[in-house]
């Protein structure tokens, strides 16, 4: 949405941009088709080269629908999306959570840290992330288009059909929400209004419509309302713990394993958690509170999906806390780059110029200032405090995505506990309730439970809700390091001064520029 595009009267220029956008969508759909074929069996290597024929073949069987859905999750876990950019790296640089990256060795990270978005490498990275998200969205739209048509009869089980449809809508909402959080206007008291594309059509000839903020949010919630309604009736995760589905074969749908490992999919509870996150971001605090509390307690389903698992998981060296995750992505390739990017190995020397890290002062004097560090399992175990450079100077590194590859781990353990990206966790639901509650007694009770999972015993109660919310802000920073949460928290709160940032934050820093090829067709 460049001003030169909006204000230009040259039809030729606008035509070129339309063509560019159409080519981008075609490329996106082609990438999605390729990704889904790569997740399938070798027979797919013999499909017709034409994209439309590939798509037609893909959705002629139940297996094809499952492959298409798996393709969406596979694409979400890529490095340009949640595999790195939107979790451990670039969003954390935007939040200034790492020590300032070196300009010569980590230029993209450096300029994102400085919130200088006109740098060519930054623009390329933002474009790559934007493209990655819309690649997933295009795939979800293809699934929705087919599953909601008469062709969906190839999925014989009504239960499977509803789950596939619901997950596709939820995936679309998940990615579209992050388009809003990255490129959209400030959620509170905006001075600048921003329209964004919400892609609901699968035909490459139909360009996505651009929506203002309120209409965009309504589309997000409509997608999730539908997903919630569908999954409430059929998701096996309703009424039992999610971990029960990780280690058993299911025979409820065509005698396959489609209903196992629900944590790795947009299950019923993940949909509710995403709704709670959106409610909080958009200022619907009562709805955020009630939805998050419903997840914590299990509501009227008979069983909570997960519990706070900090103590158990950390003792097992599961530093991403899989036991409390409501939605994770599994990426077996992550270990190949996460160590070189973030460190975490106590036996390896750190290069502070090429790896993302913090300083000892950042950890002790600011991040955990005033905290009980004698027993806090996050401080003691998830941060590797002994890593040092060639001169012996220590630089703490995070172990959230680290595991010792020399150890022998069962495939199930690797898949569900170690090779994971946590995207929605129960800890976030606790913090949402703590931030939005009007009941000081509720806040004190939940905070004690929350801190117990950190192996910290709380004896003193909060005396005001203001104190609760101040503590919650610090806890967001401590708890979700490397998960891509804090920049959006700062933006949601409209904070002008953020920790470790050496300049004021304004709308200009919080609203990232769209790729050059994008435009608003209504203007």
CATH number of the domain enclosing 266: 1.25.40.390
- Indicate if 511 and 457 belong to the same structural domain: no
- Helices 213-234 and 268-281 sit at what angle, rounded to 10 degrees? 160
345 occurs within a structural domain: yes
Based on the fold, state whether residues 274 and 223 are members of the same structural domain. no
Rounded-to-integer distance, Cα 203 and Cα 131, Å: 17
Query: Residues 339-377: pLDDT tens digits?
Result: 999 999 999 999 999 999 999 999 999 999 999 999 999
118 and 191, same domain (yes or no):
yes
Residue 381 has pLDDT above 50, yes or no: yes
- Tell me if 3 is assigned to some domain: no
Count of domains for the chain: 2
Q: Is 245 helix (H, G, I), strand (E, B) or coil?
A: helix
- Shared domain check, 301 and 331: yes
The β-bridge relationship of strands 325-330 and 209-211 is unpaired
In a domain, 2, yes or no: no
Q: Tell me which DSSP letter residue 41 carries.
A: -
Q: Are residues 446 and 345 in the same domain?
A: yes
User: Which pLDDT score is estimated for 480?
Assistant: 98
Q: Is the CA virtual torsion 312, 314, 317, 322 positive or negative? A: positive
What is the distance between the alpha carbons of residues 496 and 498, in angstroms, rounded to a whole number? 6
Give 16's pLDDT tier (boundaries 50, 70, 90). very low
Rounded to two decimals, what is the model's pTM?
Answer: 0.90
Q: Are residues 96 and 193 in the same domain?
A: yes
- What value, to the nearest 5°, has the Cα angle with vertex 253 and ends 250 and 258? 60
Same domain, 462 and 439: yes
On whether both 127 and 143 belong to a single domain, the answer is: yes
pLDDT digits (tens, 9 = 90+) for 126-185: 999 999 999 999 999 999 999 988 666 788 888 999 999 999 999 999 999 999 999 999
| Cβ atoms of 395 and 360 closer than 8 Å | yes
Query: Could you give the CA distance from residue 131 to residue 86 in angstroms, rounded to a whole number?
Result: 13
pLDDT above 90 coverage of the chain, percent: 77
Shared domain check, 292 and 259: yes
Mean pLDDT (whole number) for 231-253:
79
Cα distance from N-terminal residue to C-terminal residue, the chain: 10
Contact of 179 with 196, CB cutoff 8 Å = yes
Both 294 and 154 in a single domain? no
Q: From CA 346, how far away is CA 132, in angstroms rounded?
A: 33
Name the residue range of residue 224's domain. Answer: 11-234+495-523
Pair 245, 227 in one domain: no
- Residue 489 inside a domain? The answer is no
Give the count of beta carbons closer than 10 Å to the beta carbon of residue 299: 16
Establish if 1 belongs to a structural domain: no
Instruction: Note whether residue 207 is domain-resident.
Output: yes
Domain-located, residue 60: yes
Q: 56 pLDDT band (50/70/90 cuts)? A: confident
Residue 482 CA, chain-centre distance (Å), reads: 11
pLDDT at 249 over 70: no
17 and 115 housed in the same domain: yes
């Amino acid at each position: 949405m460049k001003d030169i595009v909006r204000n230009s009267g040259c039809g030729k220029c606008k035509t070129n941009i339309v063509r560019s956008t159409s080519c981008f969508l075609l490329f996106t759909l082609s990438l999605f088709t390729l990704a889904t074929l790569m997740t399938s069996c070798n027979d797919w290597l013999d499909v017709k080269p034409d994209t439309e024929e590939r798509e037609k073949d893909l959705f002629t069987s139940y297996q094809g629908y499952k492959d298409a859905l798996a393709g969406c999750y596979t694409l979400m876990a890529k490095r340009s999306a949640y595999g790195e950019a939107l979790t451990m790296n670039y969003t954390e640089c935007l939040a200034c959570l790492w020590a300032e990256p070196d300009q010569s060795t980590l230029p993209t990270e450096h300029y994102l840290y400085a919130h200088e978005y006109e740098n060519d490498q930054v623009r390329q990275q933002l474009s790559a992330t934007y493209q990655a998200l819309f690649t997933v969205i295009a795939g979800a739209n293809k699934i929705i288009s087919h599953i909601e048509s008469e062709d969906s009869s190839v999925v014989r089980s009504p239960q499977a059909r509803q789950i596939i449809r619901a997950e596709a809508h939820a995936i679309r909402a998940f990615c579209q929400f992050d388009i809003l959080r990255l490129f959209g206007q400030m959620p509170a008291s905006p001075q600048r209004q921003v329209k964004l594309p919400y892609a609901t059509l699968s035909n490459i000839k139909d360009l996505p419509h651009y929506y203002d903020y309120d209409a965009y949010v309504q589309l997000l919630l409509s997608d999730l309302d539908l997903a919630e309604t569908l999954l409430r009736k059929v998701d096996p995760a309703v009424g039992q713990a999610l971990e029960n589905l990780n280690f058993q074969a299911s025979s409820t749908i065509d005698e396959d394993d489609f209903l196992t490992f629900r944590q790795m999919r947009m299950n019923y509870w993940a949909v509710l958690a995403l709704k709670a996150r959106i409610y909080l971001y958009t200022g619907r605090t009562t709805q955020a509170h009630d939805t998050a509390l419903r997840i914590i307690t299990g509501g009227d389903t008979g069983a909570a999906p997960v519990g706070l698992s900090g103590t158990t998981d950390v003792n097992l060296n599961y530093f991403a806390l899989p036991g409390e995750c409501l939605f994770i992505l599994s990426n077996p390739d992550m270990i190949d780059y996460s160590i070189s990017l973030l460190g975490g190995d106590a036996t390896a020397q750190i290069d502070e110029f090429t790896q993302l890290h913090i300083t000892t002062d950042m950890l002790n004097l600011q991040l955990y200032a005033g905290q009980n560090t004698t027993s806090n399992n996050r401080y003691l175990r998830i941060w590797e405090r002994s890593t040092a450079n060639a001169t012996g100077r220590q630089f703490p590194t995070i172990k959230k995505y680290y595991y010792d590859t020399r150890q022998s781990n069962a495939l199930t353990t690797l898949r569900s506990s170690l090779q994971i990206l946590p995207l929605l966790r129960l800890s976030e639901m606790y913090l949402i309730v703590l931030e939005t509650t009007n009941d000081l007694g509720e806040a004190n009770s939940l905070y004690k439970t929350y801190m117990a999972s950190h192996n910290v015993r709380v004896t003193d109660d909060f005396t005001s809700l203001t104190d609760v919310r101040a503590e919650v802000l610090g806890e967001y920073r401590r708890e979700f390091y490397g998960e891509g949460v804090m920049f959006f928290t700062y933006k949601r709160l409209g904070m002008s001064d953020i920790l470790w940032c050496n300049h004021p934050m304004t709308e200009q820093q919080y609203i990232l520029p769209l790729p050059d090829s994008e435009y608003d067709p209504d203007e």
